[in-house]
Structures are given as C-alpha cells and as structure tokens.
Amino acid sequence: MEKIVSLCKRRGFIFQGSEIYGGLAGTYDWGHFGVALKNNIKQSWWKKFVDERKDIFGVDAAILMNSKVWEASGHVAGFSDPTEDGKQFNVMFKTEVGVGEEAAISYLRPETAQGMFVNFKNTVDAFHPKLPFGMAQIGKAFRNEIAPRDFIFRQREFEQMEIEYFVRSADWEKYFEYWKDEMEEWMEEVGIDMNKVHELEVEEKDRAHYSKRTIDFEFDYPFGRKELFGLAYRNDFDLKNHKLEYIDEEIGEKIIPHIIEPSVGLDRIVLAILLSSYVEDEKDGEVRSYLKFKPNIAPVICAVSPLLKNKPELVEYANTKVYAPLKAEFGRVAWDDNGNIGKRYRRQDEIGTPFCIVVDFDTLTDDTVTVRDRDTGEQERIKVADLKNYLKERI
Ligand code: ATP
C-alpha cells in the first residue's frame, strides 16, 4: 500500500488534499495521470452502460438538492454511523443555501442515486421508456466519515457511478442476476484482478431496511477484504417515498417499478485497479516496478522519444512524423526525452504506459521505429505509417 501511495504521488496521480497547508482529512487531489485514469474508467463505464445500450438514460443532477429529498429518502433521519461513545452521527454535510433569514438548510449529496429518482418523472416524460429501463449518473458524493482512512478507500469526498434499473416486481430476480454478470464483465474490462474479488451475500440483519437482497462485491485490499461496490435490490422503496408512479401500458395500470442498483465507488475501483496492476519484477538485473494497466484505461497509451535529444534530425522526425500525428489521433500520448532510454522506460513503466516508441538513426533511412512492450520488455520494428493501426488494434 505504501508503495502505491508513494508511486501515485511521485508520478503525478494522486496527492493529499490541501497538502501545503497540512492536508484535510478524507480529501485527495488528482494529478494529471490520475485524472486521465479516472476519466478512462468513467468513459468505459458510460460507454458500456449508456452509449452501447438504448434502455439507459444519463443524468447529471445538481449536488445541492432541496432538503425534502433527503427527508423523503430517509437520510435526514437515518444516515448515521455510531461514534466512539456510541452516539449516532449523521454523516451528511449540512450547508445553507441563500442569504440571511431566507437561507434554507441543504446537504451535499451523500449518494448520486437520489438525483436520479427525483428525475424519474422528467425522464419518463421526455423519453417514454418501456420497462425495464434505467438511469445512470456519475458524480461526486460527500460523507462526513467519522474515520476516513486507507488512502482513497474511505474519503469524505468521492465519486460514484450508479445505475438505477427499473423493472416489474415479478422480474427482480432475473435482473439482479443480469446486473451481477454485467458488473463482473465490466470489472474484467477495466483490469481488476478477479481472483481478488469476492461476492458477499449480505445477511438480512446487515442490509438496508428497504433491501430484500444485497451483494457486496469485496476486494482483497492490503488492509483486508472490504467492500468494493454494492448491488442491491431496492424494492419499490425509493419511488414510493417520492410518490412517483409509472403507467405500464402493457397492462394499462399505474405501477411502482422496482429497482436493481449497481452502486460503484469510482475511487475504490481506481484503488482496486492500482492494486491489481502493480507488479515488481527484475529487468536487466534491477528490480523494476510497473503498473500493468490495460491499454483502454492507461493514462498514456504510448510515449514517443528521439534516441538522443541533442540530435536535431532525430528530434525533428520524432516530433513531426510520430508524436504529432499520434497525439492528434489518440490524445493520450506523451513526449519523453528526459534522461537515457533506460530511465525513460522505467518512468513510463511506472506510469503504466503500454508502449514506448523510439526514433533512432535507422528511422531516418527506413521510416521504421522500435516499439517496446511494457510487460515483456520486447521490442519490435514497426513502420511509422503502420503505427496508428498497430496501436488501435491494441487499445
Ligand atoms: P462502507 O460500508 O464501506 O461505508 P457503504 O455500504 O456505506 O460503504 P454505499 O452507501 O453502498 O457504501 O455506497 C456505494 C459505494 O460508494 C460503495 O460500495 C463504495 O464503493 C463507495 N463509497 C461509499 N463510501 C465511500 C467513501 N467514504 N469513500 C470512497 N468510496 C465510498
């Protein structure tokens, strides 16, 4: 864990929040590569669950909501954890909206789910979806955790990616199984080590009162086997509380759809991916550490280097014929001419860059470059004209 935390800081992934002022417990700031990693994970989730389907509708609701939302949802009354002396402490961050006597109490949302329920009617009216259908949202959530800890595992400000999938009550078991499979498939797609993932059937006494079935997907973190994300059958609890209905045209009746909810914490996914990807091996008699990211989520797909940075003809070629076109095509492309080639490889390995491309003297005569594979260290000679396709096939 310490090695990962230190790598994340050194290489510009994740920093302690407000660090130069001594930090703020439970907050982290994301550096260049961390943002890229997080964005790639979000994109992969959105692509699979929204873009590639026609039955799930995206939402981006306000973080501040009318406090009546949190009363109806049960959070004002019950979103509490016990303190050390046994008192119940509501972990919602309270704030005021507006000026002076007009000010209204509000809360920073502790989950993204309610932002979807309150837009259920808007979504139905705008898109007329037939059951089953879903809503999806990615966004920040805030909880004044009593004891934030374990790096980005338990923070006071974090990100969630949630789906509310609305079904007819008779179908809930079928769709529960369906979402279990979908989530497993997605975890593999982003490179989570499935040997470290375990399903925990949450017992009735530990389930939220509205849930008839919950599975916690747990992960073997260095600090123990703990929750990665949850899959819950929420019954008709939420729509009922908000007094929302749906006209089921198939049976010509008003019904309250039931909900299956895969609720993913993005930061815990990032941590699980980092822990699944971190490898130490020996290369050229030295221990090297690297992040074995899948190319689809790696912050950098490839780094481009001139063999020597003091040879203008190499620099010119690398810059104009390799770096610029790849950068324009993929965006996630780095220019790296710092130190010798060995040092560049080590640096890119630690960032998790799958391919390093080097322009050398042969390039100037035959228009080929070496492409080095991060995991095996093997190098191939590839035609510059084929580079785009070479990378596309591997992303
Ligand atoms: P825990 O039992 O670990 O506190 P929870 O059961 O309260 O989690 P949920 O309310 O089900 O969590 O939230 C859904 C997901 O949001 C969790 O599975 C987790 O991935 C993420 N999450 C919840 N709290 C935090 C937090 N403080 N920091 C980072 N991620 C969190």
Distance 215 CA to ligand 1 centre (A): 13
The residues facing 106 across adjacent strands are: 66, 95
- How many residues are there in the chain? 395
Q: Which residue has the tokens 């322009």?
A: 359
The residues facing 154 across adjacent strands are: 149
Give the pLDDT of residue 208. Answer: 82
Element (H, E) at 63: none
CB 305 within 8 A of CB 319: no
The three-state secondary structure class of 149 is: strand
Rounded to whole angstroms, the Cα distance separating 127 from 129 reads 6
| Per-residue pLDDT tens listing for the chain (395 residues) | 999 999 999 999 999 999 999 999 999 999 999 999 999 999 999 999 999 999 999 999 999 999 999 999 999 999 999 999 999 999 999 999 999 989 999 999 999 999 999 999 999 999 999 999 999 999 999 999 999 999 999 999 999 999 999 999 999 999 999 999 999 999 999 999 999 999 999 999 989 878 899 999 999 999 999 999 999 999 999 999 999 999 999 889 999 999 999 999 999 999 999 999 999 998 778 889 999 999 999 999 999 999 999 999 999 999 999 999 999 999 999 999 999 999 999 999 999 999 999 999 999 999 999 999 999 999 999 999 999 999 999 98
Contacts 24+ apart (CB under 8 A), 285-293: 288/346, 288/349, 289/3, 289/7, 289/349, 289/350, 290/349, 290/350, 290/352, 290/374, 290/375, 291/7, 291/349, 291/350, 291/351, 291/352, 292/191, 292/352, 292/374, 292/375, 293/37, 293/191, 293/352, 293/354
Q: Whose Cα sits closest to atom 24 in ligand 1?
A: 154
Give the pLDDT of residue 285. Answer: 82
Kindly give the number of the ligand 1 atom that is closest to the alpha carbon of 216: 18
Give the pLDDT of residue 301. Answer: 97
Give the pLDDT of residue 241. Answer: 95
Distance 225 CA to ligand 1 centre (A): 14
Alpha helices in 246-394 (DSSP H): 266-277, 312-317, 324-330, 341-351, 361-366, 387-392
Q: Which residues contact 350 (CB under 8 A, 6 or more apart)?
A: 7, 10, 11, 289, 290, 291
Alpha-carbon dihedral of residues 213, 49, 117, 273, nearest 10 degrees?
70
Distance 267 CA to ligand 1 centre (A): 10
Tell me the backbone φ, ψ of residue 224, rounded to 5 degrees.
125, 170
Distance 144 CA to ligand 1 centre (A): 12
Q: Whose Cα sits closest to atom 3 in ligand 1?
A: 227
Distance 175 CA to ligand 1 centre (A): 22
Kindly give the number of the ligand 1 atom that is closest to the alpha carbon of 145: 27
Give the pLDDT of residue 282. Answer: 87
Q: Whose Cα sits closest to atom 1 in ligand 1?
A: 227
Ligand 1 contacts (CB < 6 A) are 143, 145, 154-155, 158, 160, 227, 229-230, 263-265, 267-268
Kindly give the number of the ligand 1 atom that is closest to the alpha carbon of 162: 14
Give the pLDDT of residue 259. Answer: 97
Task: Take residue 260 and report the two structure tokens written for it.
Answer: 């299956």
Distance 324 CA to ligand 1 centre (A): 42
Q: Whose Cα sits closest to atom 11 in ligand 1?
A: 230
Distance 268 CA to ligand 1 centre (A): 9
Rounded to whole angstroms, the Cα distance separating 234 from 256 reads 12
CB 126 within 8 A of CB 180: no
Q: Which of 337, 331, 340, 323 is nearest to 384 (CA)?
A: 323
Q: Whose Cα sits closest to atom 15 in ligand 1?
A: 265
